[in-house]
Amino acid sequence: MRAAVLQEFGQPLVIQEVAIAAPGPDEVLLRTAAVGLCHSDLHYMQGMRKIPLPGVLGHEVSGVVEAVGERVRDLQPGDHVVGALSVFCGLCRQCLGGRFALCMDTEVKQPPGKARRLSHGEQPVSQVFNLSGFAEKMLVHRNALVQIRKDMPLDRAALLGCAVITGTGAVFRNAQVPAGASVAVVGCGGVGLAAVNGAQIAGAARIIAIDNVPGKLELARKFGATDTLLASEGDVVARVQEMTQGGVEFSFECIGLPATVEQCFRMLQPGGTATIVGLFAPGAKASIEGSEFFLEKKIRGSALGSARIRDDIPRLVELYLQGRLNLDDMVSRRIRLEDINEGFAAMQRGEVARSVIVFDGVGG
Ligand SMILES: NC(=O)c1ccc[n+]([C@@H]2O[C@H](COP(=O)([O-])OP(=O)(O)OC[C@H]3O[C@@H](n4cnc5c(N)ncnc54)[C@H](O)[C@@H]3O)[C@@H](O)[C@H]2O)c1
Ligand SMILES: [Zn+2]
Ligand SMILES: [Zn+2]
């Protein structure tokens, strides 16, 4: 099969033939239908976190089941699925506590380089995020998959697996934003736009979208933003405080920069909660004014919005099919596997919410 392979950090991905193994007892072989380009992939391509190379990235995926291992009873060939990097074992302390996104079983959630599912000649190829969706086929553990209705378009379904489950989960599961709340979302790429949309679905009264690209702010209105702020113009914190007479109840950082994390904490009203979704480089630190803890301000992290994929993804499908979750405007471009490097360049130029690779012959 063809795959986009990361050979060297900081270099373009290379399209090449990669071999894929047959399903083991708990594994499922999929034809990839669609895969979104997420900024986390770009972080890894740039070497922000080192993985054994060569490797195949891509973790925002949908597909069609081609074959299943002997212990897989809930899926059969032809089923439509969404994959997520938060594969879970169902047995460890984190899973039993309902924190499936934090599953620590490294037999199921294998670090890059451990799985022997992909290869090129004699050379192993790392499966990254347990999925490796930048390829025509995927071989994954059954607990990385969620079956979806066949009337759900597969190109938009792919976005549910990372950007949408993360952004909406940060709102629904992490912050638990109630109706009438005031919210600010800093960074309106795929993840931030999903957080804006989640806040709208939750019934937030005020949703302030903040980005340094004007086009993203226009887009944010289509996802439910009531106000927008161009980050490059003036003091973001002062402007949010002015607009809300003292700060928001909930802020969401969807970029991964110390400066914007600090903004998210400072723009809170007393008692408010900042949820940090953006991925930090190892060793990066944000600085918090300690005296503000007396104001009962809170700051918390988020892994895939604490997703419980088997509950959350079918619900998000329903919300999309009812017209309440906006996925249509999140697909800025449909591209082919060979256009992947241009897709990441467009992300870096701030031109797209999401580029989605759509594969031939698998329904859109
Ligand atoms: N915690 C998780 O589970 C999880 C899951 C998915 C993605 N992520 C991370 O979330 C972050 C966002 O991912 P994405 O795919 O939406 O990225 P993206 O590149 O699509 O979006 C980032 C947005 O931030 C804006 N931006 C950049 N610098 C800014 C600044 N200084 N002020 C205001 N806006 C600025 C950009 O214009 C862009 O719109 C990344 O760090 C990604 O790795 C985390
Ligand atoms: Zn992602
Ligand atoms: Zn587990």
Asked whether 167 lines ligand 1 (CB < 6 A), one says no
189 contacts 216 by C-beta, under 8 angstroms: yes
Q: How far is residue 62 from each of residues 79, 84, 91, 362, measured CA to CA in Å?
A: 11, 9, 26, 10
Share of the chain above pLDDT 70, in %: 99
Distance between CA atoms of residues 235 and 116, nearest Å? 50
167-303 has the same fold as 2-147+330-358: no
- From residue 69, how far is each of 83, 110, 251 by CA, in Å? 17, 18, 43
The reported pLDDT for the residue numbered 360 is: 84
- pLDDT tens over the chain, length 364 residues: 999 999 999 999 999 999 999 999 999 999 999 999 999 999 999 999 999 999 999 999 999 999 999 999 999 999 999 999 999 999 999 999 999 999 999 999 999 989 999 999 999 999 999 999 999 999 999 999 999 999 999 999 999 999 999 999 999 999 999 999 999 999 999 999 999 999 999 999 999 999 999 999 999 999 999 999 999 998 999 999 999 999 999 999 999 999 999 999 999 999 999 999 999 999 999 999 999 999 999 999 999 999 999 999 999 999 999 999 999 999 999 999 999 999 999 999 999 999 999 998 765 4
260 close to ligand 1 (CB < 6 Angstrom) = yes
Mutate to test the pocket of ligand 1, among 129, 236, 239, 254 (most ligand atoms within 8 A of CB): 254
What is the number of the ligand 1 atom nearest to the C-alpha of 347? 19
Ligand 1 contacts CB of residue 331 (under 6 A): no
Query: Which ligand does the CA of 103 lie closest to?
Result: 3
In short, whether 263's Cβ falls inside 6 Å of ligand 1 is no
**Measured in angstroms, how far is the CA atom of residue 68 from the centroid of ligand 1?**
35
Q: What are the CA-CA distances from residue 67 to residues 75, 77, 99, 224, 278 (Å)?
A: 9, 6, 29, 40, 35
The Cα–Cα gap between 57 and 42 comes to 9
Which CATH number does the domain 167-303 belong to among 3.40.50.720, 3.40.50.300, 1.10.357.10, 3.40.50.2300?
3.40.50.720
Residues 6+ positions from 245 with CB-CB distance below 8 Å: none
* C-beta of 144 in contact with ligand 1 (< 6 A): no
Query: Ligand 1, atom 7: nearest CA belongs to which residue?
Result: 40
Q: Which of the following CATH numbers is that of domain 2-147+330-358: 3.90.180.10, 3.40.50.720, 3.40.50.2300, 3.90.76.10?
A: 3.90.180.10
User: What are the residue boundaries of the structural domains of the chain, listed by start?
Assistant: 2-147+330-358, 167-303
Distance CA 231, CA 350 (A): 14
127, 30 contact by CB (below 8 A) = no
CA of 130 to the centre of ligand 2 (A): 13
For the CA of 277, the nearest atom of ligand 1: 1
Which residue owns the Cα nearest ligand 1 atom 39? 189
Query: How far apart are the CA of 162 and the centre of ligand 2, in A?
Result: 5
The verdict on the CB of residue 255 being under 6 Å from ligand 1 is yes
